[in-house]
Structure 1
């Protein structure tokens, strides 16, 4: 079995920490570099539910996309929920490693995984300077309503569901995608000349201004749902590394839904005039239930 330091070296090669934004907090949060690793769990959020899942699984390493201490801290006391996560992991000899903005700008990165989950053909980065986001082509034209339905079907289900801004009947041929919060990228999206943009955490004023500025279609999915496909991509990358080294690692992807929203109350259908539809189970392969 490899040591933690050997596994981390390979993860840092996939997502170099120096490519992270200056404000970010990536890398190893806890763990003994000399400890052996046999089982790894990938997840979006380093929360208590994921720590419990790692214990039940017998994992030696948890790799998350979101940092545990993004803004720093002066204590890891277990009286706070973040400190409790650290105590729980250390008590059970489980290491925690974070790949955040360095995974966003990797090739392949978070937006490649999102495009793959949506079965889109990537043609290039949305922001070439830092390799952020992806410009994609559809295999055949479809309406904004159909594209939103594709996202609802292929991304993990959340309480938020999928929100849409724009004419549901507009025809799309090229779209941009960006995992996580994306309303800071509207200038790049407009410059790319795409028909629609799928991302997360879209706010009222930026969306209002964007729709007034041009007939751009906007599709807003839950932050967690747009980044969860990266976990599957990252797990497959580590599997390949394990096979190359003969490590025989057992690599898992958490299906625990850690999106913080728990319920949504509103119309049964997002598009006015449509007949209400019964809720359905998520159908994307491997998606959390």
Structure 2
């Protein structure tokens, strides 16, 4: 194992996911931690929440690499009696650093949507929304569009997605004709209804993302847009953690763990007389 410090990992992550690729509203980079602290074990998570913080401490991790920012909105206090303040104090006391790569990882190539596309065996990938500004070029951008190995009906694709993505209580929902043949699929890790028009322009047969809302979906389908698949936000971004872990292991030779704790907030799914409850 090579010598590794928080500073070394931060510098490498900043090089792979430059901070100026992030959206102006985003907050990425090192959140807390001592630069000179040695790192021998890393935990990759989608969300920094009490459960994943405890997982990091139980595993003896020195650094958490998270996708979602802990401190996205401005705060005036990190007092220990606040939700986020308690996590900050817990991590500092334990000597665990926290780093976030969010929209800068979304736009990267490879990035969050590449990992999602790979789970579905999509080939011929290109950005759904090509990057502009500092991140422009080299195949970077938000979302990806590619081709399935073989055409599937929408119903078959929904089942395929459910098999390939991490299981959640929310499962997979599809909107459109169940018998519609799908060959070209656009995907976007995380919330993606702002890119519905881009999926139309890209000529996708179906578009998969998270957090789709009733009225945008209804209007999109009424206008003849691609079929839609809605998955849990956590499930759409969890595949990226595996890519980050592989890269960190190769880069530093340290132990890198990936959290499979389902941090999707929905825990109950009822269908008529059936009730599914996540443990």
Query: TM-score per shorter chain, which class?
Result: over 0.9
**Equivalent in 151, 155, 161 of residue 165 of structure 2:** 155
1:252 paired residue number = 257
Out of 201-210 and 114-123, give the one that drifted further.
114-123
- Asked if the contact 1:224/1:258 (under 8 Å) is kept, the reply is yes
Q: How far apart, in 2, do the equivalents of 1:228 and 1:72 lie?
A: 26
By how many angstroms is 1:216 displaced?
1.6
Q: How far apart, in 2, do the equivalents of 1:216 and 1:102 lie?
A: 27
1:125 paired residue number = 127
Query: Hey, which bits of structure 1, 4+ residues long, moved more than 3 A?
Result: none
Which secondary structure does the structure 2 equivalent of 1:264 belong to?
strand
1:164 lines up with 2:174 in the alignment: yes
Greater percentage in strand: 2
- Asked if the contact 2:199/2:226 (under 8 Å) is kept, the reply is no
By how many angstroms is 1:39 displaced?
0.4
Relative distance call for 1:194 and 1:267 in structure 2 (3 A) is farther
1:272 paired residue number = none
Which secondary structure does the structure 2 equivalent of 1:265 belong to?
strand
Which secondary structure does the structure 2 equivalent of 1:68 belong to?
coil
**Where does structure 2 lack aligned partners over 5 or more consecutive residues?**
133-140
Deviation string for 1:37-85 (max 9, x for gaps)? Answer: 1100000000000110000000000000000011121111110111111
Deviation string for 1:149-183 (max 9, x for gaps)? Answer: 11111111111111110001000110100000000
1:265 lines up with 2:267 in the alignment: no
By how many angstroms is 1:215 displaced?
4.7
Q: How does 1:1-289 map to 2 (within 5 A)?
A: 1-130=3-132, 131-242=141-252, 248-266=253-271
By how many angstroms is 1:129 displaced?
3.1
- Asked if the contact 2:200/2:225 (under 8 Å) is kept, the reply is no
Deviation string for 1:83-119 (max 9, x for gaps)? Answer: 1111111111000000000000000000000011122
Out of 66-75 and 103-112, give the one that drifted further.
66-75
Q: How far apart, in 2, do the equivalents of 1:3 and 1:196 lie?
A: 44
Q: How far apart, in 2, do the equivalents of 1:53 and 1:122 lie?
A: 37
By how many angstroms is 1:122 displaced?
3.9
